[in-house]
Structure 1
Amino acid sequence: MRSDLPALIIIDMQKAMANPAAGQRNNPDAAERIARLLAAWRAADAPVVHVRHISRTPGSLFWPGQAGVQFQDALAPLPSEHVVEKNVPDAFIHSTLERWLRVRGIERIVMAGVSTNNSVEGSARSAGNLGFDTTVVADACFAFACTDYAGQARSADEVHAMALANLNGEYATISDSASVLRALTGM
């Protein structure tokens, strides 16, 4: 594994995210883009981390033992790839992620996954605060429609865009998969 390349961190790409019960989402091609990123990282022998959410709420799609907890088949980790389990949105809280990166001298990370406004945003904020050079791949993330605090329905695109705006420049650089792939292959 080449620690001189950024680590690809794939967040919560589990079978539950493909369940219609998860809600209306944006970026329908995000999983395909994540798969392309994953293939490129593997070809470059660059570090890959898969993050899996394990819920503490009975009945959740992510409750242990549910089919939804499993990684999506196309994005399943190889035995050589690191897996981090989390119980809260932020992949750095109560996990070994920061230590795993630091021990390997990895200072740059690229994040993709779901959901943009929850686990991706929470993890990217921590990464930025911890001093990691963080890139979030906008078209390899997605969000779900929701209602805001004032009762206004917000589309998945709106939720996604606002989460990216919250991160841009302060915690992370926002990019797209084509640019990230060009940068990886150009290194």
Structure 2
Amino acid sequence: MDITQRTALVVVDVQKGFEDPFWGRRNNPDADGNIAALIEEWQAAGRPVVFVRHDSTEEWSPLRPGTEGNEFKPYVEDRRGKGSGPEVLISKLVNSAFYGTPDLDGWFKEAGVEQFVLAGIQTNMCVETTARMGGNLGYGVIVPLDATHTFDLKGPFDWTQSADELTRATAVSLHGGGFAQVTSTEELLRAASDGGSPDSGTEPGEAGPAGG
């Protein structure tokens, strides 16, 4: 795992609305602390940081604009603009951060980003969707699994999966399918602290052309 000066951190939908009981039982209470540690590391190193906000158009959503739930959690909002490296806010209406405003792919290309780290909410939805699309677009994608969390979910046929089960399924699909390298926050921070300089010639990890 090679972390260069141009490896971006993408912080997905860490918004107050995800604290609403509407979502049900969440997993991984350590996620917020791990996300905060990643933001701090990336900003201290002057690496690119992307903050993604979900601006839901659904009237029932705790994430809709104009409500407190649309706001970033304080530990994220308080860090915005504090790094010395490039930073951008992406607003999106769907799962993938690549379908947002401004255009994330274009911003990456302008900043020379070929590899990015994904952290945030929800593991099996916006994080996974963005990782899959990033892999398909040819980026090296790294997902520190313990810097994400999700919620229990009910599907068809009265099937249900716990948040932990969904997290494991995402990890297997992304890592086993070649979309992303799944790791831990501890391993990632260790690699980041040893990361390359702006002139580093290290190539990012490759994401394979796995089927959808």
TM range (shorter): over 0.9
The aligned residue for residue 78 of structure 1 is 80
C-alpha deviations, 1:104-147, integer Å up to 9, x for none? 11001000001011000110001000000000110000111011
Q: Does 1:185 align with 2:193?
A: yes
**Alpha-carbon distance between aligned partners in 2 of 1:94 and 1:70, rounded to the nearest angstrom:** 17
Distance between the aligned counterparts of 2:67 and 2:49, measured in 1? 25
* 1:154, distance to aligned residue in structure 2 (A): 1.1
CA distance in 2, matches of 1:178, 1:5: 20
Instruction: Give the aligned partner of residue 183 of structure 2.
Output: 175
Aligned pair partner of 2:137 in 130, 139, 152 = 130
CA RMSD of aligned residues (A): 1.3
Identity between Structure 1 and Structure 2 (%): 36
Q: Name the CA distance, whole Å, in 1 between partners of 2:155 and 2:170.
A: 13
Deviations 1:82-106 (A, max 9, x none): 1100000111024311100111110
Shift of 1:33: 0.5
In the alignment, structure 2 segments of 5+ residues that lack a partner are: 196-212
Matches within 5 A, 1:1-187: 4-76=5-77, 77-79=79-81, 81-95=87-101, 96-169=103-176, 170-187=178-195
Amino acid of the structure 1 residue aligned with 2:175: N
Q: One-letter code of the match for 1:172? A: A
**Deviation of 1:5 (Å):** 3.1
Q: Say which one has the larger Rg.
A: 2
Residues in 2 aligned to 1:44 and 1:131: alpha-carbon distance in whole angstroms = 25
Give the secondary structure class of the aligned counterpart of 2:173.
helix
TM-superposed CA distance for 1:21, in Å, is 2.2
User: Which letter does structure 1 place at the counterpart of 2:160?
Assistant: A
How much has 1:19 moved relative to structure 2? Answer: 2.0
- Number of equivalent positions: 185
The amino acid of 1:89's aligned partner reads N
In 1, Cα distance between equivalents of 2:135 and 2:112? 16
| Displaced runs of 4 or more, over 3 A | none
Residue 62 of structure 1 deviates from its aligned partner by 1.2
Give me the whole-angstrom Cα distance separating, in 2, the residues matched to 1:54 and 1:12.
9
Q: Give the 3-state SS of the residue equivalent to 2:50 in structure 1.
A: strand
TM-score of the pair, normalised by structure 1: 0.94
TM-score, normalized by length of structure 2?
A: 0.84
What is the CA–CA distance in structure 2 between the aligned matches of 1:150 and 1:134, rounded to whole Å?
Answer: 33
Unaligned runs of 5+ in 1: none
